[in-house]
Every structure is written in C-alpha cells, then in structure tokens.
Structure 1
Amino acid sequence: MKVLSCLTSLIVLCLAGSAHAGSFCRQEKIDRLDQLSSIRIDDVWSGVRAQPGAATVGSSLMIAYYNKDRYVSIASVDPRSGVVCSRSFGFRFEGWDAHNNLRMAVGEDGSVHVAGGSHGSPIFYAVSKTGRLDDFREGYMLGKGEDEQEATYPTFLKATDKSLLVMYRIGHSGEGVWVTNRWDNGKWFRMAPAYGDTNGHHSVSAYPSTIVTDSQGVSHVAIVWRETPDVATNYQVDYAQTRDFVHWSGYFAKGNAGPVMPGQADIVDKPGLKQGLVNSAQLVLGRNGEPVIFYTKYNEAGKNAVFAARPGEGEWVHKEIAADTVRSPVQGGGTMVGLVSMNVVASTGKDPVITITFPSGARTKLVVGPDLSTSKPPAMPNAAQLVKTTAEPRIEPPKGMPAAISMAIPVRQEGFDGPVMGRLIWYAQQPNRDHPRPCTSEAPLACNPPPSPMKWVFPESLVSGQ
C-alpha cells in the first residue's frame, strides 16, 4: 500500500505541473496481452499519415507527434506505472501534407532531438540536453535558422565515430541542396554539403535512400535524381559511399569533396525522363557485404517493374526481378499512393529478401542472390508446430473516412537506429496529393476526421528486464 500511495502522490504532483514544468500528466491503464502490453499515449490527428518520431530513454518511451488539434506535442511514457506526461508546442501542422513527418534521435551524450514538420517550409526543431521532458527547448539548430526556412526530410544518422548527424534538404523538389550538421559538445556545427542541386546544366534535387554503414565504417547510399517537382522527371539512379560525410566516391569512381553531383560517383541506371522511375530506391548490404540497390521504373513492356542492381566487373549490373501486369502512371506532384511498394530485409551473411506489392494488387516475396537471381523464400513450418502468441492489436478507423488505414511503425531505441522497442499504432487517412480531403455523402468525416488514439505496444521484457 505504501508503494501505491507513493505512486498516487507522484501522479498528483505531475497533474499539478511540479514533476514536468509546462507538462500535463495522467495515469493510463496498462493493457496486458500475453507477451505484450500496450499504453494509450494520446489522441492524435488522423487527417493524413504523417508519422511521429519516437525513441526510448532508459525504459521509457519518448514520442513527438501531432495532437488532435495538430500541434506538435512531446510525451514521456513510463511502461512500469502507466504514467504519461506530455507537452505541447506552438508549431501547428496544417494537416494534409504526408511529407511532414517528425523524427527523433538520442545522442551519445543522452540528448534527445526532434526535427520535422516541414516540406519546403520552416522546420520544427527542439532539443532536451538532459533527456528530460521538461528540458525540451524549441529553436534553431544553427544561428538564426536562415537555411531552416525551406527545409525537407530531416534525417538523423550516426557518423563513424558514433556522433549524431542530421541531414536535410534546403529548397524545393527539383532544386535543393542537402546539408549535414554534426552535434558536438552540446551544439550543432555545419559540415560540407552532402548532395548537390545542379547537374551542370540546370537545377536538380536528390532523393537519397536510407544510408547503410558497414562493419568497416563505410556508409553507402543510393540516390535518385529529379529535375522538377513532377515525379515523372526522376531520371537517374546513382550510388555513392563515404567514411566522413565530407568526401564521397563511387564503388568504382574516385573520391571528391562533397556535395555529390549527378554522375560524379557511380551511375547505376539512367532510364531518363518519364520512364516511371520512382524516388524510392532502397539500398542494403548483400550476403558478402556488397551494396545491392532496388528501384522501380517501367520495363520494356511499359509496365511498372522492380529492378535490382549490384557492382559487376567495372560497372553496375541491373536486372528486372518482378513486374506488374498493368501500367500505373508515375507523374504529378505531392505524396502519391498506388505506386509499387517495396520492403527489403537484409541480415548479415544472408541474401536480402524483398516483398513487393504492385498497383494491381499483385504481391510477391523473393530472395535475391549475389548474381541477382531470385528464388522463393523457404516455406514456413506447419502452423501447428509454431508457438502460438498473441497477435499485436490494431486500431481500426471509423466509417466515413476514405482510404483510412490502420498504421503501425516500429520504435527504435535511438529513434533512427538500435533494437526495436515495440510499435506505435493508430489510424490515419492515406495522402490526397498533400491536399485537404473534401467531405462527401460517402465520406462525411474526410474533411474533419475524428482523432485517433495512439498506443505504444511493447514487449513485457522491456519492463521485466529479461
């Protein structure tokens, strides 16, 4: 009873604002689900699937999200007690641009960073140098934030020495340079630009894949280049690598100081304009540690197809590995739906496995070997032989919202890296080319959707320490 009394006193202090200055705390029920538990975090904006940023600090969850009124909020969730404390900031999301994700990162010094909410617009940035909710301060990363006014895709990553970096694009689609900042001694410092904004003749912008760093400290990236805001003007896939995010080379091409320009490193494939190339290339490391790139474009029959590429004898070799039976046009601006979806999983010493969903609804799963040959994954054991566990819960959207789906994303320990510490679940509408959705008789909730509860689903081992 004494423990319960202490917990109750703590909650009262939180509600009074003493535990977290400027925050509101409440007690939430912990739902037990066999080997999983879940806690409701808050009601969140469901107009479009803009993603929250999340990480774990100790055993607690820290999450940045848009609350039901679309303001950026940051919450701290204790999985042992069920206490949820949250703070709201003055940055308000317009509500419909699916690019406006929030990202979170935990630095080596214990600092916690939040960046995002931008698409060619002012970036939201806040930092807690202590990792405490009440210590978050909103502001600029550098100076007076001159180059943070037209920012897009802030992305956190680690340097070879484990220090925290953030990369983002300055400018707009078709004309933007990517810059890199480094967190050192409690401050951000500007490094050399990463990806350039011209091909020598006219403006371009880079769409880089997630950077993958190998065991030797080499960071690998695939880049799709675009000429204008229209996705139809994606025209080339490049590969580049770096050890210090200042000097870049190809697998074959010699190194140069950044920024990387089109064709300066390695050209993987150059289909040209209006050839269905989508800016969603993915790079993984193959069985032997070599980079393997997956991307989608039209094939010779004019259908949407997925290609894989790897380094060959002095040049990149690419091969079609799967194709749709129909052609879905790749053109226009804004966040698009109905394109080819790829999910690639790679494990050290094993061949990558790719799951492909085509616009027609066709779906396939393939293992891709070192020579780009494909095979079906081995069959799973008979279901009766598997240990039965409780399935993760879903939050289903209400009727009256068009193209609304149940969302689920992993929570990684450091926000962008580290082991998975559960998942966030909620519901949200699919993008509408980043424009507001109208309310109709068939979809009366589309323009003013009800907020979705967001929950953290986590393994019991996180609390027990097992």
Structure 2
Amino acid sequence: MDLNFTLSARLKILMNKQLLICALMLSLLANFAGANAQEISTIASNGWANNSINAVIFRKNSLVTFKGNQYAAYYDNEQFLVLAKRKSGGQNWTIEKTQYKGDATDAHKSISIMVDGAGFLHVAWDQHNNDLNYAKGISSGSIKLGEKQSMVSKKEGKVSYPEFYKLRNGDLQFFYRDGGSGNGNLMINRYSVEDKTWKRVQDGMIDGEGKRNAYWQVAIDQAGTIHLSWVWRESPDVASNHDLCYARSKDGGVTWEKSTGELYTLPIKATNAEYAIKISQKSELINQTSMFADDAGRVFIASYWRNAADKVPQYHIVFNDGKRWAVNDLDFRKTAFSLSGGGTKKIPISRPQIITWKNGKHHAAGLLFRDVERGNKVSMAVNNDIMSRNWKINDLSTEAVGDWEPSYDTELWKSKKVLNLFLQNVVQVDGEGKTKAAPTAIQVLQWKPDR
C-alpha cells in the first residue's frame, strides 16, 4: 500500500469535510434574520446607562436620516445632550456635546429629534410635566444647537412625551401631552419650513376630561394621512390602561375621522372615540407602543396585553382588513408578569416596534422586541404575510441589551427599507429607580429584509 497516497487521500477527505462544515455555517449565518448580515456601528462608549432613558420606545426619533446624512442623539455619562452625525452607512461619526443637560435620572425625559425639509435639526429633551426644552440647529446640516426657544408660548409648561413627525412637504409636526398621567390632553403643533415658525394645530384634541389621558402612537403613510391610535389610562397606575382607539387625518391634523370616514366632532373623548378593540383594565395592556402604515395606507398597531383566558401577556398586531378591526395574535411567550404601579417599570419584555415591507403579492412584517425568555437580546419576529400567523423569531444581537426597547430611523426605513436600530445596553430599576452602572456603548445595528 502507498502510505503517502493514503495520507494524501485522507487529508483531502478531511479538508472536504471542513469546507462542507464552513459552507453550512455560512449558510446558517445567511439565513439568520435574512440573507443580509447585521452590521453594528459604534457612535460612542460613554452613554448614560443608569436607567433606560436612551433606549425607551417613545423616542421619535433617536436616529434620523436626511439627504445621505444620519443624525443620532443620546445622554452621555454626565447627563449632557449629545448629538452625532455620519454619512449614511459610514463608520465615522462626528460628535457634538451640546451646551444642554437633562435630568437623565427620570427615564421619561428622553431626547427626540427630526430634520425638517430644509435640513435643520430639531431637538426636544428633558420633558416630564415641565417647561418645554426645544432648540434647533444653527444652520442646515449642523449639529450645533442654538438657544432654547418656545414654539407657540402657550401650554408649554407641563410638557411630556415630545415627538416629531415629518410631513411630505418637509414641514414638521410636534405631538406632546399637556398635563399629567391620568389627567392630560394631546397637543399638536406644526412647523413651517417656509416661514420658520410654529403654530398650534390642535389644542387638547384628545380630551381626558380631567379623568384620564391618552397614550398614543402615530404613523404617517405615503399619501400623507396621519394615523393615530391610543390607549386610555385612568390614573398614574399602569394597570389602569384600557382599550385601543383610532383616528386619522388627511389634512395635516386639522380635521379627524374614523376608519369608516365618519368625521369626529372634536375634542375626541371616551364617549365618541372609535374603539379598534376593547381591552379591560388590569389586562397588562402596555402604553406607548408603535404603529406602521404601509404603502397602501393600511395601519398595523403593535402592543401587548393578556387575554382574559390567559395568564401570560402576549404580543398582538391590531389592523383593519378593510371591513373590520382584526387581531393577529403571537402566542410564543410562556412567562407571566403583572403591570401595576407608577413610574418607569422594569418589565421582562420590551414594548414592540412594527415595520412592514412589500413581499411579492403580500406585505411582510417584522416585530422588534426584547424578551428575558430569549436572554434579553434584540429579537425580531418575521411574518412573510402579515395576514397569516406564520411568525418566525430570530435574534439580531448575540449579546444581551438589558432593559433596552427598540427605536429606529423611520425616515431611512421609509426611503430605503434599511432598518437602523438605536442600540445600548441599559438597566431600569422598577418605579423610576436608577442603578450605578458604568457607561455603555451607543451603537447602531443595521438589518435588511430579503427582497
């Protein structure tokens, strides 16, 4: 027997096996959350991490792209408001530590940003039943902020949950709550790019009548229709959340209608609201989640609650199929928990973000979340047809992100169908507590769906 030949043959067999294993591993990686691998870009290493303020879901937005540049905002370990900018998709960030600080110990007081149609950055920060904190960039494309400004100078002393949304002509809308939890009203301002001024569009459009307040989510579709949904809360206790309501506006928020086209008589109250689904108090219904309007103007609202016959809160997608409101239930969770009490809660799952995209004749959907059952990683449930119940779950991160909640660059997703998630490992102590955690990295995670 030729010993050299035998050894050579065996080596070839081993090499072929190794190549086969590598190919299988690459195939598995390619199939992990879609054929496009995740990319992570690090902005800075000194993000405030003593609570979840940088990683709450109601930041609108944490990231925003305009004309090839992406902007980001966060609190650093000294509680300064920091802005960052890069060429879209690049790795090099320009950092601007602004002259402004916020009370980062209150996780409600997150930073929200948006760029108007003229390229000016608008920023609101440090808001929880206090005076408006708002400034804009000193010039188009700049991340240097000017002096603090008022918007319309009225009802700006008890501002909470500031959110910016861009209209098709480049104007901005600013949603906020005037008043406190269980006793507050929805306000809407509009910024004119042409006039560089703000005006009040709605003053208490959703009225809690001194008994309750609305916690809302907003989506604007390609036709410019503003979609608004909300839950009612009767008191500062999270357990008093109930029901899911809906309204839409086709004229920039001036008039509002139900899904049937019936015009609302404003203000909207508990007695005249359209109820997409009735959900009783103490159902672990969470507030301030997310909503997405696809290119056909169909609305999908993501939330979680516990059905009466089930002890485990599950994620749900609420949508209108053209005839009625329907619910797509995701039932993969196994762990029960209860929501009660005030302040920012430490919850074993995050509130969900939802995105949709065209998938042949159907619309696919992605539900972004974090769950202790999956090791508190960044996870996504994907369904290739939103009307079906065929959900498949993948993890987009390999490491835990603590009590993180998903927020993303809505403008980049709308224009390019590229998902950029704001990423930071944070810890939230229940009831507005804070830890003594070391600063953690501020990052952007990128994902693309199969097309």
Separation in 2, partners of 1:83, 1:288 = 36
Separation in 2, partners of 1:320, 1:83 = 40
1:167 matched to 2:155: no
Taking only the aligned residue pairs, the percentage that are identical comes to 19
Contact 1:311 1:317 (C-alpha < 8 Å) held by counterparts: yes
Aligned residues: CA RMSD: 4.0
Runs of 4+ in 1 over 6 A off after TM superposition: 34-37, 78-81, 356-360, 391-394, 405-408
The residue matched to 2:239 in structure 1 has which SS?
helix
Contact 1:55 1:413 (C-alpha < 8 Å) held by counterparts: yes
For 2:52, the equivalent position in structure 1 comes to 49
For 2:363, the equivalent position in structure 1 comes to 351
For 1:7, the equivalent position in structure 2 comes to none
Counterpart residue type for residue 189 of structure 2: N
Counterpart residue type for residue 331 of structure 1: S
Residues matched between the structures, number: 392
For 1:205, the equivalent position in structure 2 comes to 213
Separation in 1, partners of 2:339, 2:105 = 21
Separation in 2, partners of 1:291, 1:268 = 11
1:451 matched to 2:439: yes
1:186 to 182, 192, 196: 196
Separation in 1, partners of 2:265, 2:74 = 37
Contact 1:232 1:276 (C-alpha < 8 Å) held by counterparts: yes
The residue matched to 1:247 in structure 2 has which SS?
coil
Counterpart residue type for residue 282 of structure 2: K
Instruction: Give the TM-score normalised by structure 2.
Output: 0.72
Counting only pairs closer than 5 Å after superposition, residues 36-435 of structure 1 correspond to structure 2 as 38=41, 40-41=43-44, 43-51=46-54, 53-56=62-65, 59-77=68-86, 82=92, 84-93=94-103, 95-133=104-142, 136-143=145-152, 145-184=153-192, 185-193=195-203, 195-198=205-208, 202-213=210-221, 215-244=222-251, 245-252=253-260, 254-256=262-264, 258-285=266-293, 289-303=297-311, 304-311=313-320, 315-318=324-327, 320-322=329-331, 324-336=333-345, 337-339=347-349, 341-348=351-358, 350-355=362-367, 361=373, 365=381, 367=383, 373-376=388-391, 404=402, 410-411=408-409, 418-419=415-416, 420=418, 424-435=422-433
Separation in 2, partners of 1:105, 1:339 = 27
The residue matched to 2:206 in structure 1 has which SS?
coil
Q: CA distance change for structure 1 residues 359 and 347 in 2, over 3 Å: closer, same or farther? A: closer
The residue matched to 2:242 in structure 1 has which SS?
strand
* Deviation, structure 1 residue 250: 0.8
* Deviation, structure 1 residue 55: 3.3
More strand by share: 1
* Deviation, structure 1 residue 273: 2.1
* Deviation, structure 1 residue 107: 0.5
Deviation string, structure 1 residues 298-339 (Cα, Å, up to 9, x no partner): 213242234443436865344644264453112212222124
Counterpart residue type for residue 432 of structure 2: D
The residue matched to 2:54 in structure 1 has which SS?
coil
Separation in 2, partners of 1:78, 1:160 = 23
Separation in 2, partners of 1:167, 1:59 = 26
Separation in 1, partners of 2:431, 2:292 = 29
Separation in 2, partners of 1:36, 1:356 = 16
Contact 1:286 1:350 (C-alpha < 8 Å) held by counterparts: no
* Deviation, structure 1 residue 191: 1.0
Counterpart residue type for residue 430 of structure 2: N
Counterpart residue type for residue 367 of structure 1: N
Separation in 2, partners of 1:421, 1:355 = 12
Deviation string, structure 1 residues 71-110 (Cα, Å, up to 9, x no partner): 22334457889573523324332x3322222111110122
Separation in 1, partners of 2:350, 2:87 = 38
Separation in 1, partners of 2:230, 2:80 = 33
